[in-house]
A and B are shown apart, each in its own frame.
Chain A
Amino acid sequence: MSEDAKAALPNEKPEHPYLEYSVIGSLIKNFSTRFCAGCGYGIIANIFNRFFQDEKLNPQQYPLVIGVGCYTQIQVIIHKDVQKIWVLHGRAAAVATGMKMANPKLKPIIFSGDGDCLGIGGNHFIHACRRNIDCIIFIFNNSVYAMTGGQAAPTTLYGAKSSTTPYKMFENRSDGVKLALAAGATYVARTTVAHPRTLMKYFKKALNHRGCSVIEIVTPCVTYFGRKNLNNLGSEIGGEKGEKMDSGGRMIDWIKKVTVRRNQAKFMSEEELFNKYVIGEFRYEPDKPEYSEEYEKIQRIAREAK
């Protein structure tokens, strides 16, 4: 290896390329995220920062509306120029609607969790999708209320143990994607943290899509979901032996095991799809009218009317 090639190689002490763009990275070079080891939010922040920096998104055009949950602490490691706001639990979609209609140039990005978006904020989520407001709604599906100690969420898998379902989760789980499809969102996709490149693809597509785009991201929650549950969730009927998912790596393996691509899911029966996440793009209709554009037409009619 020639001398100048070695000199060109980054030297012994380079930092993570996107560290200085994060809030805490720009203040203190070395940091440890506030998330538990193995949690998926660090991965999501990493990908969001890469995109925000590479696409050179104008921070004034993409306000970040963050709901309440473990991911609220993502504001420490998110991109430093992003204008972010913490909103009330579940009300992110409504605040984003107000932002969009007051200033149609904006395109709010919403971080909300499965409890935040499908539990308490379900009504606002449904109507934001119905109206096709130009925003990106991320649903971080870690199937527990992690910040408050691992309670069961609307998307907790059947048979899972959590602090409010000590015996077994018996309720039917709600599916963010089906809800978004029924409500009328014009770009709906689901991916998982174990597939980061598809997450980038969907995020880029949502950025260029005018309309309500819903991206559900399945993320592992090691402390409250992984440690309490075996990785044969739902398939213990088939007598499959499972062991505890007590580390990030095992949870990522479990996620890969339970995710099914959309095209593959077409050939699978209902039992096989039990407790499985179907990932892929479910709907992409770019030419559906967007709410603020329609409202501008009405404003023109109103202004011309005598």
Chain B
Amino acid sequence: MSKVNDKRFLPEGKYLMMGNVAMAEGAIAAGLKFFGGYPITPSTEVIEHLAKRMPEVGGCCMQMEDELASINAVMGASLVGAKAMTATSGPGLALMSETISFAANLEIPFVFCDVQRNGPGNGFVTDPHHNDIGLIRFAGNGEFGVIALAPINCQELFDLTIMAFNFAETYRCPTFIISDAYLGHIHEVVSIPKKEEILDKVIKREITDDCDTTYTYTYLDKGTNQLITPKPFIMGTEYCARNIVQQPHGPQGFPVTPSKAIDFIKGIIDKINNNKDKICLTDEYQLDDAEIVIVAYGLPVRAAYRSVDLAREEGIKVGVFRLITVWPFPDEKVKNAIKNAKAIIVPELNYMGVIAEQVERVTDPGTPVIRIPKVCLFHHPDDILKVIMEVAK
């Protein structure tokens, strides 16, 4: 591994950073080596910052000619052993979905930061609107598993990006960071830990001696009946898959007969669903004696915290259950978080309530699930408080 030059890590301390910049710094701390991107509001600051920082780190930041080229360049870079990432917004994600399914088939690890913006078509380009969640879950043709993390402030944008790179390296699947136009542009204090702390958290992209080309893709170990995902193969070295083909393939990459295609699909989906305990991160706030539970992710969580404090002053027992990993949806954790809740409130920054549906699927019919949809604007704590008061009666 080349000498870890000091420019990769900012000196330890507190910094005032824009959200997009914090995410870019998190990626560099995680060992980003290639960034392919295309300017699109509201994620342009990511490529602007990386264009300055990547050469310092010995990596490469390329502004490609369109979103398709940038995601495909990320594929090429990740195949050749470089940690790679792209950042775009809704329209970019739609353009890149074919390549995301290409990456899922070949289990190419990469991180995708989706700085969401308003609604179908171009919409209000500078207004947050969590409308891509539906697309992120099934980002591309075909069935495959993805991981999506939802930070709520700049500090988490830094930390969760490192986490996203680790998930991408271990599970070799498309890993999304769900930010939005507001979160990407606010400036907040980010405390950067020491270099050593980051370094032992980061999973390096390297070829260890137990890598051999008989197993370069996810395979079902006959003995333990466990799905094992080997380290990502690297083209241009001996540890390269013998056959790299986007068809349902066996552990070495050679296509399988159609009767065995389902094992391949099971592999790329269950390698994530079987590890939900390790992947699904959640957070609680005053949940132990709560009768009303607020389930939320992303920015509405911040308003929910405030509304819980206000409601607690009125004597209403309310708690917040926050999803850090939005997808795969943590079913068990949500179930036992709301098992003795009388009512569930889901404030979501979109109208169709993509995650609210998941919550309804998990709750038993008795308890009502109330949605608070908001588009382009934010949940004000009083909006949530009003709903809490009605429900409490």
Contacts and interface: CB of A to CB of B under 8 A. Distances in A.
- Are chains A and B touching in the complex at the 8 Å CB cutoff? yes
A35 interface: no
A91 interface: yes
Contact of A303 (B7, B60, B84, B237): B7
Given A88-B102, A298-B55, A99 B76 contact: yes
B80 A295 contact: no
Given A91-B68, A123-B69, A127-B69, A99 B80 contact: yes
Best-surrounded residue of B56, B64, B73, B245 (most CB of chain A within 10 A): B73
Interface string A96-123: 1111111101101000000000000001
A302 interface: yes
Interface residues of A, number: 37
Contacts of A75: 243, 245
A98 B244 contact: no
Given A105-B236, A303-B56, A99 B77 contact: yes
A66 to B, nearest CB: 10
A105 B235 CA distance: 12
A170 interface: no
B77 A101 contact: yes
A98 B7 contact: no
Interface string B280-320: 00000000000000000000000000000000000000000
B26 interface: no
B171 to A, nearest CB: 21
A91 B67 CA distance: 11
Given A94-B68, A99-B76, A124-B72, A88 B98 contact: yes
Given A127-B65, A295-B60, A85 B80 contact: no
Contact of B80 (A63, A87, A91, A123): A63
A85 B242 CA distance: 10
B90 interface: no
Contacts of A91: 68-69, 72, 99
B55 A99 contact: no
A86 B245 contact: yes
B72 A94 contact: yes
Interface in B24-58: 33-34, 36, 52, 55-56, 58
Contacts of B236: 60-61, 63, 83, 99, 103, 105-106
Contacts of B7: 303
A265 interface: no
Given A88-B98, A88-B102, A102-B77, A127 B55 contact: no
* Chain A contact residues: helix, strand, loop or mixed: helix
A103 B80 CA distance: 7
Interface in B199-237: 235-237
Nearest to A303: B56
Contact of A299 (B55, B237, B243): B55
B106 to A, nearest CB: 8
A103 B236 CA distance: 9
B34 A101 contact: yes
Nearest to A291: B62
Given A102-B33, A103-B82, A124 B235 contact: no
A84 interface: yes
Contacts of A179: none
B277 interface: no
Interface of B: 5, 7, 33-34, 36, 52, 55-56, 58, 60, 62, 64-66, 68-70, 72-82, 84, 98-99, 102, 106, 235-238, 240, 243-246
Given A94-B76, A103-B82, A124-B68, 11 more contacts: A60-B236, A63-B236, A86-B246, A88-B98, A94-B70, A95-B75, A99-B235, A102-B81, A299-B58, A303-B58, A305-B56
16 contacts: A85-B106, A85-B244, A88-B99, A91-B99, A94-B70, A94-B72, A96-B76, A98-B74, A98-B79, A108-B76, A124-B65, A124-B68, A124-B72, A126-B65, A127-B69, A299-B58
Interface of A: 60-61, 63, 65, 75, 83-88, 91, 93-103, 105-106, 108, 123-124, 126-127, 295, 298-299, 301-303, 305
